[in-house]
Structure 1
Amino acid sequence: MAFCSNILNAVGWPYWVFFLLSLIVICSVFYLRERRIRQASTKEISRQQQLIHLEMHAFQAQMDPHFIFNSLNAIHHYILTTSTDLASLYLTRFARLMRLLIRNCNKQWVNLEEDIEALELYLQLEQLRFGSQFDYKVDIAPEVFQQVTFIPPLIIQPYIQEAIWRRLLLRPAKSGGCLHIRISRQHEMLHIRIEDNGISQEPLSPESHLARGINIAAARLSAINERYNMSTGITQQELYNDLKQPSGHVVIIKMQQAATRESAM
């Protein structure tokens, strides 16, 4: 106190000026701290709202009325012309797919096993409609444990839908299409590789249903990357054979894996 008193006397400040300045400094520090807390809270709320908005749009993209109508129409055709047992099988698969989509629409994370089940059901229903125009194969590497590997739902499917509708179904022979989905782990990154031997096409129109689904999937990955500080990325490229002729297309989705589900929730 004697030291402070000597300083005040040296500069000619009365005590009340010193305490007033100290009070202003303290109030300013608390104000700036509260402002930073409010800004961080507002930013986090905005991120959550953005994710919810994107998840709802992803669900709407999955519940494509054309896909639902065409699937039911194909099942109806089986009932009338082929086999009621086969129609019942596909109707059960359709109901299971709808149940999975509705159950997962408000989730940010599902285990890989659930997501692959939904993809398999979707692919089976598309094969019901298009027969031998394409075959598919899903490979899960041994190092990927599906029940404890968590990914955002409705991320992979838009790229599979694009591969089928924009490339495989447009092959001139109307047969021999191949869709290969391989999921592996490299270090801490999950690699989802979607490869097809379809026909190369011009870029999608931004207003098309397929483009919206893909844009939503990419935006959701970007939002998840920002919120959880998890490295994610999507790359696409054309494939060529030995004669330098186009032979297909590949999409690779990379996602850094959280140590546990709780750390990513």
Structure 2
Amino acid sequence: KQNKPKEGLKRILPTIAEAEKLGDKYYITMAKINSGWALSILKDYPSAEENLLSGLQMAVANNFNSSASEAYSHLAFLYESLGEFPKALENLKKKQLFSEKILNEENLRYTAELIVKYDNEKKESQITLLEKENEIVKYKLQENQKIMIFAGILLLLLGGLLLIWYRKYQLNNEKKVLMLEQQMMRSQMNPHFLFNSLNSIKLYIINNEKENAVYYLNKFSKLIRTILSNSREKEITLKEELETMELYINIESIRFSEKINYEVIIEESINTQQIKIPSMILQPFIENAIWHGLSNKVGDKFLKIYISSKVKGSISFEIVDNGIGRQKAQEIKENKVSKQKSIGLKLTKERLDNFAKNINKEIVMEFEDMFDKNNEPLGTKAIIVIPIK
């Protein structure tokens, strides 16, 4: 796929018959999917659809999940090009399901590898313990070494208990981090956000605003792919985090009548491609600024992120909005019939504490209310200081 569809077709199509002779189902599947993609680019939509559906059928039949995900993606593009947006959305959803299935399979493989590794270590530990016990039996036969044997047994028992305690501590810590990451991912991809985003895009389709519908649908799909991809990584670059936040704000913006004026100001000395931070760590603060500060504001809405290195060995974020302020937001929340408890910031604090603990440093996470000279609220500032390695 190098934007040369005609050349690609010339190379791929002749090889399909040979692959069929050899019974290479994976190659046939990918060849048909790639041919379908090339034909879509060349606007031969009937042939493209035939090849993509054929390749999809083989991928599903043979459990080629990555290929099936790719086929659904190309079918979404095809139907989008034909203006058949419901089909495009349906295939995009199916692609999402396969992407999640691939991710789940990878997680299961990873878990299985950990279990095997733990079992091997346990067996080695048992073998070592048996060898030590054999030595102790020999020592017991020598009366003049009884005291030394007794001391050795005590030391072995103490060492074993310390080893068991340390191993249990490590496992509990790893389990806690994993649970935090899973809870954070669920809070970022909650059903309300997904439903409201898709509903907003659907309104563009209903109102025949095709360009807006396609634009935001692409942004939405890219955001979901990015969240799923980043969920596999404990840390990502600052550049990747900022790109993901821009996607998130673009999706949130379509649910307002006025656009959110978003700006990032980065200190010149900061290299965003080298600095690594926990993935999606800024999202709860931005979500908080939008839904508690800006959503009820009338007029221009501003959201700015200032990034600096004020403290050596750390990076500072200041997320500033010109919303209604925390006091007014709390009053509005108290008057609502349904009060949903937000856990995003609490989970973020625990994730940051775990991240900082690994490098023996502390984090800062606080909020400041901003007022004008008449003591009227000007907005809220969230300050986050994260240590970097």
**Range of TM-score over shorter length:** 0.7 to 0.9
Residue of structure 1 equivalent to 2:364: 233
Q: Give me the TM-score of the superposition, normalised by structure 1.
A: 0.83
Q: Does 1:246 align with 2:377?
A: yes
Which of 19, 44, 50 is the equivalent residue of 2:170?
44
Distance 1:210 1:193, change over 3 A: farther
Name the structure with the higher strand share: 1
RMSD (CA atoms): 2.2
Return the match for 2:160 from 1, 19, 34.
Answer: 34
| Worse-matched range after superposition: 29-38 or 107-116 | 29-38
Once the two structures are superposed, what CA deviation does each residue of 1:31-69 show, in whole Å capped at 9, x if it has no partner? Answer: 222322221221111111101001001000011211111
Q: Give the superposition deviation at 1:180.
A: 0.9
Give the paired residue count.
240
Is 2:336 the partner of 1:211?
Answer: no
Deviation string, structure 1 residues 1-55 (Cα, Å, up to 9, x no partner):
xxxxxxxxxxxxxx94x62222212222232223222212211111111010010
**SS in structure 1 of the partner of residue 254 of structure 2:** helix
Point out the structure with the larger helix share: 2
Give 2:330's match in structure 1, choosing from 202, 213, 220.
202
1:187-215 superposed Cα distances (whole Å, 9 cap, x missing partner): 2111111111211232979x965621111
Unaligned 5+ segments in structure 1 are 1-14, 259-265
- Which of 65, 70, 89 is matched with 2:215 structurally? 89
Out of 309, 312, 317, the residue aligned to residue 192 of structure 1 is 317
Matches of 1:180 and 1:191, distance apart in 2: 14
- Structure with the larger RCO, 1 or 2 (CA within 8 Å, 6+ apart): 1
Residue of structure 2 aligned with 1:22, choices 148, 152, 155: 148
Post-superposition CA distance 1:153-199 (Å, at most 9, x none):
1211011111111111112xx22221111122232111111111211
**1:82, distance to aligned residue in structure 2 (A):** 5.3
2:294–2:323 CA contact under 8 A, matched in 1:
yes
Deviation at 1:112, TM superposition (A): 1.2
- 1:234, distance to aligned residue in structure 2 (A): 0.7
Provide the rounded CA distance (Å) in 1 between the counterparts of 2:292 and 2:165.
Answer: 44
Q: Match of 2:330, as an amino acid?
A: E
Structure 1 residue 106: Cα displacement: 2.8
* Structure 2 counterparts to residues 108-187 of structure 1, below 5 A: 108-132=234-258, 134-171=260-297, 174-186=298-310, 187=312
Unaligned segments of structure 2, at least 5 residues? 1-141
Q: Is the 8 A contact 2:356 2:387 kept in 1?
A: no
